[in-house]
A = this chain, B = another copy of it.
């Protein structure tokens, strides 16, 4: 294995799959694009009350920016800080689009066989924690590269800017249930389906 791909103690999310795990307040979580050019959809749900979850609309409103990076905070629908970004090798992530789903493949990809996508993977991973599929909101899409034309409002989904081994590090501000994927949509990773790695400290 290439040196850049080695991340001791990192857990691996295989291509086009997802997982869920708990973070305690103060824990750090490192999401690693070990192979480069891959997207990881990230959700956070409060362990104390699963009705409190990540909110793109609150977070963007308070940041006054659609691109978030080191020092930015991710807020819940109750306007509480859930995660803070401690380090970021890439500086380009998306917080506009929902996780890809069976419908995404049906509506956006004529030539792709259907796949449950990150939405289905997150729903399956979070189901044991009681999170309903309908409640899954816009995810923080680590490494997803969605440049927006400010004049026309048009955006494109381009391959990530992340290179092999690039990381984004978060600190939990409350006890959380995390959902995390290796993205299933061709557009967000340039048609290559790769794994994602993560570490909790």
Contact = CB atoms under 8 A, between A and B. Distances in A.
A138 B56 contact: yes
B96 A66 contact: yes
Interface string A47-71: 0000110011110111011110000
Interface stretch (A82-90, A150-158, A166-174): A150-158
Contacts of A136: 77
Contacts of A152: 65, 67
A61 B104 contact: yes
A110 interface: no
Contact of A51 (B107, B134, B150, B151): B134
Interface string A98-122: 1001011011100000000000000
A5 interface: no
Interface in A142-181: 147-156
Contacts of A137: 57, 137
Interface residues on chain A, size class: 35 or more
A97 interface: yes
Given A56-B57, A98-B55, A66 B155 contact: yes
Contacts of A10: none
28 contacts: A51-B135, A52-B134, A55-B98, A56-B96, A57-B96, A57-B98, A57-B138, A61-B104, A62-B108, A65-B153, A66-B96, A66-B148, A77-B98, A77-B134, A77-B136, A78-B103, A79-B101, A79-B103, A79-B106, A96-B96, A135-B135, A137-B137, A138-B138, A147-B150, A148-B150, A148-B153, A149-B150, A150-B150
